[in-house]
Structure formats: structure tokens, C-alpha cells
Structure 1
Amino acid sequence: MVLKTELCRFSGAKICPGKGIGFVRSDSQVFLFANSKCKRYFHNRLKPSKLTWTAMYRKQHKKDIAAEAVKKRRRTTKKPYSRSIVGATLEIIQKKRTEKPEVRDAAREAALREIKERIKKTKDEKKAKKAELLNRNSLIPDLHHLEYRLLNRECADKIST
């Protein structure tokens, strides 16, 4: 459980809930003191920066223990280094990195052109197949129609004889 501690307005000490002495000035400002010693010194108008045991004095004279504990710890940074990736050695990676943008763009254009040609070729093949099927299917109904007419003639001949 976390308790909300407050700070003494004179000494800077932590005051737990239910402890300390409160004082409300005529301008409605609230002061909370850790003990009667702090309250007495405050009312006698002593400066906390002159008393060696207060937080203000310790901070002014750089004797603050908390500040020493919070010193920035330097993190050791790892130096970046390159490793080879599966399928590509370090030399290949370095070569690609040092490659000029014009060369890279040209290679990209060539690859795109090849892909587009391949797609166009497959589309043309599909079109040719479709046209062939349509031609084949267009002949079938005519044949079917001819067979139907022949059957009708045969039936008519049988009926008449």
C-alpha cells in the first residue's frame, strides 16, 4: 500500500498521513511541519538555509545524498557491425551498398520491364486460348443444328413411308 507523504515546509522532511503539525496563515496558506521544532523555528523566522540539518541547507551546500544516487549511469553502447545474411555474403552486401543510384534504378527498370513483358505474354496466351475456344464452340452449334435437321428429315421420311 502506498501512502501519500507530504513534505515539511521548513525542514523538507517527509511527513506520513496523520503526523505533523498544520498551521494556516491569515492569507489561507497552509503550512505543514514535521515536528514542533520546525514549527518553532518557522515562527521565530529562522531561515532553513542557515540550519545545517534542513534539506534546503544540504541542497545549497551540495550535500544532498539523493542527488548523488540519481547520477546518470552511462550505458555502454554496442558498436554497429555488419553480418552476412543467409544467401548473401558480406562482400555482396557491401557491393550493393556502394552501388550508384543510377545503376540501381536501371536494374529496377529492367526487372519491371521483364515482369511487365511476362504478364503481357500470359495475357496474350489467354486471349489466344479464349479465341480458339470461341471458334471451336461457334462451330459446334452449327453442327448440332445440321444434325437436328438431318434427324428431322429421317423422321419425316419414316413417317411418310
Structure 2
Amino acid sequence: MVVKTELCSFSGLRIYPGHGIMYVRGDQKSFKFVSRKAKSLFTQRINPRKLSWTVLYRRATKKGTLEDAMKKKARKVTKATVKSVAGASLDIIKAKRNQKPEVRAAAREAALREVKERTKAKQAAKKAEAKKAPAAAKAAPAAKQSKAMAKAGGKAGKAGPGGKR
């Protein structure tokens, strides 16, 4: 047995026989609503696409569509392609790939050792400069004071008790 259902003019929901409200406008156009709530919102001119419970909202925001599930299942698998990198040709990359792991590991260790040696050399140079700098600072006269320091007796910028800062 097939039940003849109608659709709500506002929400798009199904209206079964014996249910719903019929509304006839002054220009003889009739509307069928699933509930008093739908009729009230229609007469207030509320947009059904902005109410999350309506079918129009669900269509506008693509909720509950079966096509999306089908698209997710049948997504294409991307095939990995070998491309050359700027600065290295395809032949060089293939040659490195075909090298034995031991050879690659040894080359990596040698490169790391070289980098560590460079950083140690830089740090040693910095330490040598740091040792030279304090000696030069001690040799310079320590009696250089600003005029404000000399006037205040070495207390420039410090206010006494109750003074403004």
C-alpha cells in the first residue's frame, strides 16, 4: 500500500495524510505546512536555508548526501612518479638509490663529522675573540664617566627616598 504524502512548503519535510496545515494566501496561492511552527516561520518571512532542521538547509550545506560517500570510496590513487630535483639530475638520484645502505650511511657520517668540526672551529674562534676583548677593555681607562654620573657622585638615574622615578 502506497501512502500519498505531500511536502511542506517551508521545511521540505513529508506531510502524511490527515496531518499538516493548509494556508491560502490572498492571491489564491495555497501552501501546506507540516506544523504550526513551519507556518509561523513562513509568515514571518524567515529564510528556511538558515534553519538547521529544514531540508533546504541540509541541501544547501550538503548534509547527508549519498554521493559524498560514493566519492570517498572511489577516490583515485595517485601513482608515485620519479622526478628530477633542481641541481640533481635523474641519473644521479637513481645512482644514489641503487647504492648499498652501508655506503650511504658512511657518507652521511662523514658529512656530519665535517659539520661538527666546522662548528667546533667557529666556537674556538669565538672563545679566542672573547679572551682578547676583556683584555682590551681592561687596558682602556675605567675612569670614563658621563657628566651626569660625575655630578651625582656615581648615582645617576637613582632617586632618593620619596623622589620621582
Q: TM-score, normalised by structure 2?
A: 0.40
TM-score by length of 1: 0.41
- The structure having more radius of gyration, on CA atoms, is 1
